[in-house]
Structure 1
Amino acid sequence: MSAGQGPSMGQLSEPAAAAAIGAACKTLYLTGTAQVAGSMAAEAARQRLSHQAYLAEVLTYECEERDNRARARRIKEAKFPRSKRLEDLDLAQIPDLPPSTLTHLATGAWIDAGEPLVLLGNSGTGKTHLLIGLGMAAAEQGRRVRYITTAALVNELVEAADNKELSRLVGKYARLDLLCLDEVGYVKLDTHGAELLFQIITAREERASIACASNAPFSEWGQTFTDPRLAAAVVDRLTFRGHIINTGTDSYRLKTTQQTINKSRQN
């Protein structure tokens, strides 16, 4: 053994080898491997795997763990108010959304193309479920996503403008792969707030997708954005090359509640 070299692996006792693996995992930030290296080594010995096969198992496990942590981190950073999955969506309640369309949207190809998505329908018809579900799918596929209500976003923008940090915040939202904007039309915006929101929409126009949900038809958006010309410009940017889905008028939540009450009465 030459000077400066450590002992070969054959000269390490089992406890020393375990300690060396733990130290190396800490140095290399292999958090997943550190937790399972010992048990995987024991299993590899039972199966009489070659050293190369064991190394492949360990590295594959670490890659999968990193992917899982990255997905969890992106979902957390998106700030969804609750977890909603596309597979839990009752498509029978949304006749304007055939399975083929949902399958296409779930791939995220429209996000890569920078196309907008608008969900229109009454309260309780599945708009937010669909919005969050598509956002979560996009985040799990590796895209940067942020969910926020229209009122909350406008408040952020107004505060940033007051603190002379507007350009930084607009740039932050412009870099997202998908912005999920909920509750468009729920709150009437003043002129300043509407103009600030328009900056976000313009910054993402034809480059990065916005998916928004509204309980108001386009004809009523002028009441939200106060200025008819501004409302028309917003609608134009959110519909050009976009996907428009009507989730209907009958509240799914109300229908579910009524069915539950009827069943309890029958029992």
Structure 2
Amino acid sequence: MTTDATALFDVGERIPGPRKDPAAAGVVETVIDEACRTLHLPTIRSRFEEIAATALKERASYKDFLADLLEAECLQREERKKARLVREANFPRPKRLEDFDFAANPNVTPEQINSLADPAWVTAGQPLCLIGDSGTGKSHLLIGLGTAIAEAGLRVRYTTTANLVNELAEAADEKKLGRTLARYGRVDLLCLDEFGYLDLDKAGAKLLFQVFTEREERRAIAVASNAPFSEWKQTFTDPRLCAAIVDRVTFNAHIIETGTDSFRLAQTTRNRRRRS
């Protein structure tokens, strides 16, 4: 065969009609299927016939057809990566920023929150503090922002403060504290919920302090607390340790005060009034 192979990929070259020999077509499909398995291209493997049919209908060039195949694979791979990063973040329930009711809590502005959906503050290692009473949307914002950051391609980990301290204490007992601290030190954003809900003894506070020290000015931490900074000394009973933790959480931090009026309670009250 003397035909120049490069001519097949000329921009002007169009995809020919379907092969008339069913056996030959079957062989080609088998080759494509096996190649896609070997190269780990699941989207091309599942969609090449559909995309080929569209290319044939639109009389696309070989290059256009190839571009469509690769684009479909890249887009689907990106979606799978987003889903994996969100799953690995270990959020307790799905919450998204677009579902937050800003009208119910005027203390929080969409502009402020949407700016934090950009991962620049995370890559800069800046802290985030969400301070407010229960029912004001702190956890929703913490999970929603964590989800947005994960979908931007960064590694996120969610946990409550009590669970983290318990995990660190167990790791210390099993001589695995260094490994656990390193694991929490590697994630780009650590989301700590229910910060300040429980009083910590000196040993627990020291363990938590090691996490903050491990991440200081390198990796971002976001905390949600129902207590203002002035009351954190009730959680961290050692005054020096408390001051050190507050210093690390607030240095170059984004601080959002969600207020004191529970819109969950207000919503429940309105629903009861409607029913009655």
Work out the CA distance in 2 between the residues paired with 1:31 and 1:193.
47
The aligned counterpart of 1:31 is: 42
- Corresponding residue to 1:101 among 107, 112, 122: 112
Work out the CA distance in 1 between the residues paired with 2:116 and 2:103.
17
What does the per-residue CA deviation read over 1:119-139, in whole Å, with 9 as the maximum and x for residues that have no partner?
A: 111111000000001100000
Work out the CA distance in 2 between the residues paired with 1:94 and 1:264.
24
CA drift at 1:94: 3.3
Work out the CA distance in 2 between the residues paired with 1:97 and 1:256.
17
Amino acid at match of 1:163: E
The aligned counterpart of 2:80 is: 69
CA drift at 1:188: 1.3
The aligned counterpart of 2:217 is: 206
Work out the CA distance in 1 between the residues paired with 2:208 and 2:128.
17
Work out the CA distance in 2 between the residues paired with 1:102 and 1:239.
18
The aligned counterpart of 2:162 is: 151
SS class of match (2:130): strand
- Segments of 5+ residues of structure 1 without an aligned counterpart are 2-9
- 2:61 aligned with 1:50, yes or no? yes
CA drift at 1:57: 0.3
Amino acid at match of 1:191: K
What does the per-residue CA deviation read over 1:19-43, in whole Å, with 9 as the maximum and x for residues that have no partner?
A: 1111001000111111111111112
CA drift at 1:157: 0.5
SS class of match (1:206): coil
Work out the CA distance in 2 between the residues paired with 1:255 and 1:261.
10
The aligned counterpart of 1:196 is: 207
What does the per-residue CA deviation read over 1:31-76, in whole Å, with 9 as the maximum and x for residues that have no partner?
A: 1111111111112111111111111100000000100000000000
Using the size of structure 1 for normalisation, the TM-score is 0.93
4+ runs deviating over 4 angstroms: none
CA contact (8 A) 2:125 2:218 kept: yes
- Segments of 5+ residues of structure 2 without an aligned counterpart are 2-18
- 2:263 aligned with 1:252, yes or no? yes
Alignment of 1:1-267 (within 5 A): 13-265=24-276
Work out the CA distance in 1 between the residues paired with 2:202 and 2:111.
40
CA contact (8 A) 2:157 2:190 kept: yes
Work out the CA distance in 1 between the residues paired with 2:80 and 2:212.
31
Instruction: Report sequence identity in percent.
Output: 55
Using the size of structure 2 for normalisation, the TM-score is 0.90
SS class of match (2:108): coil
SS class of match (1:21): helix
Q: Higher mean Cα deviation, 49-58 or 71-80?
A: 49-58
SS class of match (1:225): coil
Number of residues paired by the alignment? Answer: 257
